[in-house]
Amino acid sequence: MSNTSSYENTVELFNNFTLQIDRYFAVLIFIFAVVGNSLNVLVLSQRTLRSNPCAWLFLTSTIADLISVLFGLTTRILAGWATDPTNTNSLLCKFRGFILFSSRTTAFWLIALATVDRWIASSRNARYRQMNTLKNIKICFLFFTAGNRHHFSVFP
C-alpha cells in the first residue's frame, strides 16, 4: 500500500514540476523571442536592405516566426494558469492551429528559399545570377505560401 502512495506522490511531484517549467520557462522564451524577432525586423527593414532578395526573405521569415511565437506561446503561457481560451472555444482553437502551422511552415520555406537564393547569386552561370531578383523571389514566396495552405481547404 505504501508503494502506491509513494508512486502517486512521485507522479504528483513530476506533474507539479512540469507545470512550473511550463509557466515560467515559456514566459522567458516568449520575452527573448519577441525581443529578438523585433530587433531582426528593425535591422532587416532598413532602406539599404530592402532591395536585397535574401534580406527580404529573412525579414519575412522573421515576421512569420514572430506571428508563430505570439499565437503559439501566448496560449501556452495562459494554459499554465488554467485560463487557456482555446480549451473552451473550438473556433479559436482551430484558428490558432491554422496560424501556428502556417507561420511555422512559411518561416521554414523562406529559409530554404534564402538558401536557394544564395546558391543562384553565387552561380557561375550568368543566366542564373540574372534570375536573382526581388520580383522573382516574391513570386516564389507567393507560390510556396499558396501551396502551404492547401491542407486547410476544408475546415472539419
How many domains, the chain?
A: 1
Q: Which residues contact 148 (CB under 8 A, 6 or more apart)?
A: 102, 105, 106, 109
Q: Beta-carbon neighbour count of residue 61 at 10 Å?
A: 23
For 67-100, the pLDDT digits (tens) are 999 988 888 888 777 777 777 888 888 888 888 8
Residue 152 has what pLDDT?
53
- Pair 59, 42: CB distance under 8 Å: no
pTM above 0.75, yes or no: yes
Q: Dihedral sign, CA of 70, 71, 74, 77?
A: negative
What is the three-class DSSP state of 100? helix
Q: What is the pLDDT of residues 5-52, one digit of tens each?
A: 788 888 889 888 888 887 888 889 999 999 999 999 999 999 998 889
Which grid cell sits at 55?
534580406
Tell me the CATH number at 119: 1.20.1070.10
CB 56 within 8 A of CB 133: no
112 — phi, psi (to 5°)? Answer: -65, -40
Give the lowest-confidence range in 84-88, 106-110, 113-117, 151-155: 151-155
Domain extent, residue 8, equals: 2-152
